[in-house]
Amino acid sequence: YIYQFSMKIITFLIHEKKVEEKETVCVSVHAASRHDRLYSRPFIESFEETPMLVAVLTYMGYGILTIFGYLRDFLRHWKIERCHIAREREEQQDFVPLYQDFENFYTRNLYMRIRDNWNRPICSVPGEKMDLMERVSHDFNWTFKYTGRVVPDVINLGSYNYLGFAENQGPCADAAAQITMTYGAGVASTRQEIGNLDRHEEMEKLVAKFLGLESAMAFGMGFATNSMNIPALVGKGCLILSDELNHASLVLGARLSGSTIRVFKHNNMQSLEKLLREAIVHGQPRTHRPWKKILIVVEGIYSMEGSIVRLPEVIALKKRYRAYLYLDEAHSIGALGPRGRGVVDYFGLDPRDVDVLMGTFTKSFGAAGGYIAGKRELIDYLRSHSHSAVYATSMSPPVVEQIITSMKCIMGEDGTTIGCDRVRQLAENTVYFRKRLREMGFIIYGNNDSPVIPMMLYMPAKIGAFGREMLKRNIGVVVVGFPATPIIESRARFCISAAHTRDMLNRVRRQFHGLIFFQKSYFPLCSYLLIILSFKEAVDNDCTCTHITIL
């Protein structure tokens, strides 16, 4: 009776209130905004605030885990707990700690509970499906043992295989195999010595042509493309304006440069403009001299939020205040735009308006490494000043060939429409999956066109449970929690691929639906109470939110 009554109340509230999802309409061609002329269509992103009830319960969950953590530490100290691995060895008690107390405590008592959801070894191509090596733990995830069993045909929603080029058959794989027979697997030297192959130069010319810029330079590691090249571009007396959600490689590169770093709110143009004005008005600290350079650092797609940079507005601010722009297209290159040429192509902008255009080959191209493109003078400067160019080993020949073949495929230079079809299929899969998840009532973050789809879980206990239950259903997902996200914004992250079929995506949706009923069957009263309270909060606050996390 409670169930039937609560469902009637919820149905009444839905039809009476017509509550819709809260969406942040950033800029529209019809919107009254000073930047409305910069966009050719509405720019819509969804970042629903954590409901108060969910936030309170999440903090309570962390509090309970903390209390039990201290209790377990007490039991370990007196050697009562069976897991001896978590205890500090007697001969090391006088050693200086390698980590801070909180990091140690969090690792021992919170992370170890859900550690089995990460570092899972696969034994196949990370395509639309993959094979996982089964492992078990008998000491609460401190160590693992392999059973020898392989879990086959797991739907892969975790890899950055946006265009499906991570494959072991087809033109890319054949070209990589053929080039290995000619050049070998490695170069064993740097580009400045005898590690500069003709294939490297051909690849860089192709990248520049693909991006519509004068020149480009490739690097063997995507992370190092940021962390080792930013220090070559700016230094002491320069100012870096960094988005608060920038990748760790960008943060590390900014710190290594010795520049002054100031952070603006995520995708917030008012915050960025305020920092630009203050930088120009006040100059450097103490001396108030003008900054040598002001570098704005942003990403195309933010990998934890699924959001897309407001590039037209960033470029407008950059031109107005005469700053430089560093754009990281690690996730957006190949995954956005009608021609698959990234966020610049997505907005229909001139790539020459971006001073430093960075990207990686590890995602849409199914390869490894990264690139920086821009004016010829910039690239020539980096060839002689970048640590990654001077000291790092050259990119492997089969990796180079994988990049060349996949990029020509996207450009249509292979004589087929395979690349264009994959770009279109990725866009269709992204819109379809996002729409269906929202219809099911899940809270989804990010832009409608972003293939990175975060689904909010909030509570720490859900992180491990969701990942395990999905794997039981032969679905591989990535779950993320604190400290990679804010403490009350734990989430699952899905990366959509052009290789995913509609049947695969529908199967995943059905399993999500099954998980909801699985939870209801074990905790029915709690579920309905949460639903009623969340709807009451939504109606009382006149908010536009219908999504309730009941996993």
For residues 325 and 98, what is the distance between their CA atoms, to the nearest angstrom?
38
- The domain limits of the chain are 2-56+117-156+420-540, 171-408
Give me the pLDDT at residue 37, please. 65
Contacts by residues 483-488 (CB-CB < 8 Å, ≥ 24 positions apart): 484/304, 485/304, 487/58, 487/59, 487/62, 488/50, 488/54, 488/55, 488/58, 488/59, 488/458
Q: What is the pLDDT along the chain (551 residues), one digit of tens a residue?
A: 444 444 444 444 444 433 333 344 333 333 334 445 677 777 888 888 888 888 999 999 999 999 999 999 899 888 888 777 777 777 877 888 777 788 888 888 889 999 999 999 999 999 999 999 999 999 889 999 999 999 999 999 999 999 999 999 999 999 999 999 999 999 999 998 999 999 999 999 999 999 999 999 999 999 999 999 999 999 999 999 999 999 999 999 999 999 999 999 999 999 999 999 999 999 999 999 999 999 999 999 999 999 999 999 999 999 999 999 999 999 999 999 999 999 999 999 999 999 999 999 999 999 999 999 999 999 999 999 999 889 999 999 999 999 999 999 999 999 999 999 999 999 999 999 999 999 998 999 999 999 999 999 998 889 999 999 999 999 999 999 988 899 999 999 999 999 999 999 999 999 988 776 555 544 444 544 444 444 444 444 444 333 434 34
End-to-end CA distance of the chain: 23
Three state DSSP letters for 344-391: HHHHCCCHHHCCEEEEECCCCCCCCCEEEEECHHHHHHHHHHCHHHHH
Phi, psi of 358 (to 5 degrees): -110, 150
Q: Which pTM does this prediction carry?
A: 0.87
25: which strand partners?
44
For residues 214 and 352, what is the distance between their CA atoms, to the nearest angstrom?
9
Could you give the angle at the alpha carbon of 268 between the alpha carbons of 264 and 270, nearest 5°? 90
Q: Answer whether the bond into residue 231 is a cis peptide, omega within 30°.
A: no
> How do 239-243 and 490-495 pair as beta strands?
unpaired
Give me the pLDDT at residue 183, please. 96
One fold for 2-56+117-156+420-540 and 171-408 = no
For residues 7 and 15, what is the distance between their CA atoms, to the nearest angstrom?
12
What CATH number labels 2-56+117-156+420-540? 3.90.1150.10
What CATH number labels 171-408? 3.40.640.10
Give me the pLDDT at residue 538, please. 43
